[in-house]
Amino acid sequence: MNISSLQAKHMMQCWSSQKNYNPLPVFKTEGCWIFTEDGRKIFDLRSAHECANIGFNHPHVIQAMKEQMDSLIYVTDDFASESTASLAKKLSELTPGSPDKKVWFGQSGASAVEAAIKAARFWQYNRMFNEKLPEDRGVQYPYPYKIISRYRSWHGSTAGALSVSGDPRRWFTEPVTQPGVVFGPDAYPYRSPMGQDEDGIKAAEYLRYMVQMEGGSDFVAAIIVEPVVGSNGIIPAPEAYMKRVREICDDFGLLMIVDETMTGMGRTGKFLAIEHYNIVPDIIIMGKALGMYCPLSACILSDKVARVFDENIFGHGQSYSGHALACRAALASIEVLEQERLLEHTREMGNYLKLRLNELRDKHPSVGEVRGIGLMWTLELVKNRETKEPIRSAGQKYSDNPVKLLADYLLKEKNIYVPGDKFGLWITPPLVVTKEEIDYLVKSFDESLWITDGYVEG
């Protein structure tokens, strides 16, 4: 039995019915490319789920991992290891705000989101008990526990992380998701549920209204946001919106949790996307490309939040927390970002990509909007530019749709691997992508968009 059949027979594919699972057999990866056993060279336009930001098999990281493996792969957090300690320090320094932060390490974005939710709730619990409770508070539940999230969001598939995810993947677990989560409107100027809302202020002010109606600082613990919505449409939050969300959190004493699982490690042209907004969150979540070739995530607590755990138990953990090898891979990857000036390169390639993608918009009627930042872009596809009727709506998540046809065609005919089950074409190449590779990608899109153009009305 070949490896494809073997894998299909015994491995469950994520978020999929299994009978059509047919993984391509791979023998090598390098840079932006995947090499298959049947001689194909495929461009990975999703950077291995946005994990391989510096491209596959970077020699500096591989060398660092080899050296680390020769000395120490993993010890529990009862012991200290150089790579784990150094990465915690590095992340504390690289992220906005005072460097006196503390980092919890996990292996998935979801586990770090769980850590963030627990930390935020405990911080509020502690605050409530240390404050003199007003006599007229008139509530039984003693501390603020509600988390406000948005519909266009994805924070991971474990119970807590899923509960704060607006994405339809939440539907698989409902109604037994964690209580205490309320979803608000999206800051999505192209099709805002608030009407005309270019700067996202209406959406932000609606969040304020929600906080008030959910009981304000007596009940609400935190607001969680992706600075650039990832899986739910690649939607960069307007600057005014993010600043207003920070203000609302300050006005009510809420914690601002920023999920950088997809946007971190240079994806948007800064180390973290939040740096575009010049605000300081209380909790930052990283994952995916943090460990680059190793599963690694981080829940980074600001000094203010971390202090509460000096005297109280941090009630979260995983067997492999602070894995020395994964931390070494992360440190080496950050070195690559710095030494190869990949943040500058990302911004430069992002500007070029934007220009080239706008050419496609001018030519192809199914391209409704070109949207993104750094090397995180989408062509949102529509049936009608005037009405903006989507070519695939959120509710159609698991049905066949024209975006999937386009993605299948790009893989089969153009050797480009791109997520199929989306609202449009995703363009999230490894940050090492070259101008020539971008030209090749854009030319291939140009020759393939006839598929979705065929669905345009009129």
Ligand X SMILES: Cc1ncc(COP(=O)(O)O)c(C=O)c1O
In the complex, the residues that contact ligand X under the rule CB under 6 A are 108-110, 113, 154-156, 226, 230-231, 259, 261-262, 287
- Tokens 């990283």 found at: 286
Cβ distance to ligand X smaller for residue 113 or 331 = 113
Cβ distance to ligand X smaller for residue 51 or 442 = 51
The least CB distance from residue 109 to ligand X, in Å, is 2
Cβ distance to ligand X smaller for residue 112 or 432 = 112
- Residue 438, Cβ neighbours under 10 Å: how many? 20
Cβ distance to ligand X smaller for residue 333 or 452 = 333
Cβ distance to ligand X smaller for residue 34 or 234 = 234
The rounded distance, in Å, linking the Cα atoms of 296 and 103 is 12
Cβ distance to ligand X smaller for residue 110 or 375 = 110
Cβ distance to ligand X smaller for residue 263 or 444 = 263
Q: Which of 260, 313, 254 is nearest to 94 (CA)?
A: 260
Query: Taking the C-alpha atoms of 349, 355, 357 and 361 in order, what is their torsion angle to the nearest 10 degrees?
Result: 170
The rounded distance, in Å, linking the Cα atoms of 191 and 213 is 25
The least CB distance from residue 353 to ligand X, in Å, is 20
Query: Would you say 228 and 236 are in contact if contact means Cβ atoms under 8 Å apart?
Result: yes
Cβ distance to ligand X smaller for residue 256 or 262 = 262
| Distance, C-alpha 159 to centroid of its chain | 17
DSSP 8-state assignment for residue 292: T
The least CB distance from residue 231 to ligand X, in Å, is 5
The least CB distance from residue 455 to ligand X, in Å, is 27
The least CB distance from residue 232 to ligand X, in Å, is 9
Cβ distance to ligand X smaller for residue 181 or 456 = 181
The least CB distance from residue 326 to ligand X, in Å, is 13
What is the side-by-side order of every strand in the sheet holding 255-259?
102-106, 297-301, 283-286, 255-259, 220-225, 146-150, 181-184
- Residue 387, Cβ neighbours under 10 Å: how many? 10
- Tokens 């042209």 found at: 269
The least CB distance from residue 421 to ligand X, in Å, is 13
The rounded distance, in Å, linking the Cα atoms of 293 and 288 is 9
The rounded distance, in Å, linking the Cα atoms of 280 and 233 is 25
- Which residue of this chain has its Cβ atom nearest to ligand X in the complex? 109
List Cβ neighbours of 244 (8 Å cut-off, separation of 6 or more). 200, 201, 204, 205
Cβ distance to ligand X smaller for residue 218 or 226 = 226
User: How does DSSP assign 372-433, residue by residue?
Assistant: EETTEEEEEEEEETTTTEESS-GGGTTS--HHHHHHHHHHHHH-EE--SSSSEEEE---TT-
Query: Would you say 229 and 197 are in contact if contact means Cβ atoms under 8 Å apart?
Result: no
The least CB distance from residue 184 to ligand X, in Å, is 17
- One-letter amino acid for residue 60 of the chain: H
The least CB distance from residue 114 to ligand X, in Å, is 10
The least CB distance from residue 394 to ligand X, in Å, is 16
Query: Would you say 227 and 243 are in contact if contact means Cβ atoms under 8 Å apart?
Result: no
